[in-house]
Amino acid sequence: MGERAAQLGWAFETQAIHVGQEADPATGAVVTPISLSTTFRQHAVGQHQGYEYSRSGNPTRTALETCVAALERAGHGLSFASGLAAEDNILRLLAPGGRVLLGNDAYGGTFRLISRVHTALPWSAVDLLDVDALAADWPADTAMVWLETPTNPLLRCVDIEAVAALAHRHGALVVVDNTFATPALQQPLTLGADVVVHSATKYLGGHSDVVGGFVAVDDDSLAERLRFTQNAAGAVPAPFDCYLTLRGVKTLALRMERHCSNARAVVDLLVGHPSVERVYYPQLPDHPGHAAAAKQMNDFGGMVSFTVRGGAARAMDIVARTELFTLAESLGAVESLIEHPARMTHASAAGSPLEVPDNLIRLSVGIEHPDDLVADLEQALGGSVRTGRSGCRRVAAAERPPTGRSGP
Ligand SMILES: *Cc1c(COP(=O)(O)O)cnc(C)c1O
């Protein structure tokens, strides 16, 4: 139905709700059924209706794969049991000795997977924002460039088109981890990337209740190799997880609008706040990669990081003080989260080139009312006595300003 959707000229929001999700032909059910059957009847040997065994293919998984592939403007989508399982599948495309160039500000688990599991692959952590320096010093054995944009946790934005052009001149594959932007804000395949990977656990699922991964590719032979490993190594998601992710995807566009506008409200508070040293948000004109973000993204995302005055101790104190922002790892869901990357999500990068400042705080700004989020951060930063949730200023729904997109 990806093709039909394109023929119909459906917009992203419409595709998210309808592609791969026709009413069930057997019953008319409007919601894609959760197909729990592990095996499927064959009329004669090898004659079946497209499914044989649920590791190899499952109807609920097909619905998810078809839908998210369309959103990423990809010919093929593959879903996995986790983001790291998806990444592992991609890294298995490489022969031993193939170098992975990794941005020097990447998700800690990606760094751990490459440096400690795929030990036959040499890697270098490089500054992907400096394309000229990279071009001048390109390692000859590079087989793959692995980029995140915006990066985690410093939200640096890499020019996908420029890096892809350089990598392709040297015959290397370009993988973009699109977890932070989502296809609602950025579609890397249209900018020249070869492979898009997601932790579907984050914005795609969007409700902190499912762990999943996703890979989108347009190239048929890459898709075939990935599909082989997906089945042969078997890190597939359960049908219920596919259902939950698909349910999340239906509201992705709507959620991203609110994540972005709420992030702006939070940034407005943080910029110039006496407790704050520096704010990292791609919309800020002096942010590393702002120009790339403005060029390749529809809006700037729901993640905000900032360093505080007073070092690690002060950062740890602040993250323990918020009431509405929950102190927890992960990101990308409806509820706002706060964390201390150096001791939490990025602890495994300590001592490596990917180490993060220890006075850094990362926020995953949720879709609550912006006034409540700002009030909570204000009390946590101000060092005032805890007021409790009820102390947050509440505004009646009728008085609330519209929170629609006001991006570039
Ligand atoms: C969480 C995350 C991953 C890993 O995904 P899991 O679903 O936790 O396995 C990869 N990349 C980024 C950017 C992430 O935030």
pLDDT tens for 32-91 read 999 999 999 999 999 999 999 999 999 999 999 999 999 999 999 999 999 999 999 999
Test site for ligand 1: of 175, 182, 198, 201, most ligand atoms within 8 A of the Cβ? 201
Tokens linked to 264: 């702006």
Domains of the chain, start order: 2-250 (3.40.640.10), 253-399 (3.90.1150.10)
Calculate what percentage of the chain has a pLDDT beyond 70.
92
Kindly give the distance from the C-alpha atom of residue 119 to the centroid of ligand 1, in angstroms, as a whole number: 20
Kindly give the distance from the C-alpha atom of residue 84 to the centroid of ligand 1, in angstroms, as a whole number: 6
225 annotated active-site: no
Kindly give the distance from the C-alpha atom of residue 390 to the centroid of ligand 1, in angstroms, as a whole number: 34
Kindly give the distance from the C-alpha atom of residue 83 to the centroid of ligand 1, in angstroms, as a whole number: 5
* Model confidence at 93: pLDDT above 70: yes
Task: Tell me the pTM.
Answer: 0.91
| Distance from C-alpha of 356 to C-alpha of 359, rounded to nearest angstrom | 9
Query: How does the average pLDDT of the chain come out, rounded?
Result: 92
* Model confidence at 383: pLDDT above 60: no
Kindly give the distance from the C-alpha atom of residue 288 to the centroid of ligand 1, in angstroms, as a whole number: 22
Ligand 1 pocket at CB < 6 A: 82-84, 107, 109-110, 148, 152, 177, 179-180, 199, 201-202, 211, 213
Pick from 213-217, 343-347, 356-360, 365-369: least confident: 343-347
55 annotated active-site: yes
177 annotated active-site: yes
Identify the residue whose C-alpha is closest to ligand 1 atom 7: 83
Catalytic residue (one of 88, 105, 159, 177) = 177
pLDDT tens for 263-306 read 999 999 999 899 999 999 999 999 999 999 999 999 999 999 99
Identify the residue whose C-alpha is closest to ligand 1 atom 6: 83
Test site for ligand 1: of 202, 329, 356, most ligand atoms within 8 A of the Cβ? 202
| Distance from C-alpha of 375 to C-alpha of 159, rounded to nearest angstrom | 35
pLDDT tens for 112-141 read 999 999 999 999 999 999 999 999 999 999
Catalytic residue (one of 107, 203, 280, 281) = 107
